[in-house]
Structure formats: C-alpha cells, structure tokens
Structure 1
Amino acid sequence: MKTHEIEIQKFKAAANNIHGQVLFKIDARVASRAPVDGIEPSSVLVMTEQNARVLMALLKTQIAEFDSKKPKSRHGRHG
C-alpha cells in the first residue's frame, strides 16, 4: 500500500451522490510518505483548525441533505 501525506489547502465545495457518498472538491498538497517501522502503514490527512471548522460545517450540511431525502418515520404517531 502506498502511503501519503495529504495537506488540505482549501475546501471548495461538497456534494452528495446517488451512492450515499459525500464528495469534496479541494485544493491539496499530496506527498509520498514512508511507512514508519512497526506501525501499520497509513496515509495522513493534515489541515489547519480553520479548515477543520470548514469541514465540520460542510459535513453538517451534507448529512442534513441525506436526512432530508430519507422517508419520514411514522413511529409514535397515533391515528
């Protein structure tokens, strides 16, 4: 497995697709990363606090969009 360090420079947009996935358009710096001995090889996602806050806001919006497309529950209604 190749490992990378992915540094988010800027989030540009977010959207949902029909496969239940959230897609982000980003500017990022991607660099190869050597695995650390004795540790499972992993890629690392790096971002500033400001970009983390933007990510949180984008995720909240996209999750709300997913929820709005789900059928409304009828539990608890008495008719």
Structure 2
Amino acid sequence: MKTHQIEIQKFKAAANNLQGQVVFKIDTLVSPRTPIDGIEPSSLLIMTEQNARVLMALLKTQIAEFDSKKPKSRHGRHG
C-alpha cells in the first residue's frame, strides 16, 4: 500500500452519487509519505480549522440530501 500526506487547500463542491457516496471536488497537495518503522502505514489527511468547518457544513448538507430521499415511515419509530 502506498501512503501519502494529503493537504486540503480548498473544498470546491460536494454531491451525492447514485452509488450512495458523497463526492468532494477539492484542491489538494499530495506528497508521498514514508511509514515510520513499527507503525502501520497510513495516509494523512490534513486541513486547517477553516477547511474542517467547511467540510462539516458540506457533510451536513449532503447527509440531509440522503435523508430526504429515504422513504418516510408512517408509523414512526418505537423505542
């Protein structure tokens, strides 16, 4: 597996696709990352607080769109 450091520069758009996925159009800086010995290799996703807030707002919107397409129950939920 290749590992990378992915730095979000800007979120440009978000949408839901027909496969039930959220797709983001983003500007990024991507650079290879060498795993540290003894630690499972992982890629890093890095963003500023401002971009994290944008991501949260975009996710909230896309999840609401998913929820609006789900069939509504007539009986409600029973706890």
Fold equivalence (TM over 0.5): yes
In the alignment, the residues of structure 2 paired with residue 20 and residue 34 of structure 1 have an alpha-carbon distance, to the nearest angstrom, of 33
- Identify the residue that residue 65 of structure 1 maps to in structure 2: 65
Q: Provide the identity percentage.
A: 84
Aligned residues: 77
Deviation at 1:61, TM superposition (A): 0.1
In the alignment, the residues of structure 1 paired with residue 2 and residue 54 of structure 2 have an alpha-carbon distance, to the nearest angstrom, of 28
* Pair 1:43-2:58 in alignment: no
Give me the TM-score of the superposition, normalised by structure 1: 0.94
- Identify the residue that residue 33 of structure 1 maps to in structure 2: 33
Deviation at 1:30, TM superposition (A): 0.1
Q: Which structure 1 segments of 5+ residues have no match?
A: none
Runs of 4+ in 1 over 6 A off after TM superposition: none
- Letter aligned with residue 48 of structure 2: T
Q: Which structure 2 segments of 5+ residues have no match?
A: none
C-alpha RMSD of the superposition: 1.2
- Identify the residue that residue 12 of structure 1 maps to in structure 2: 12
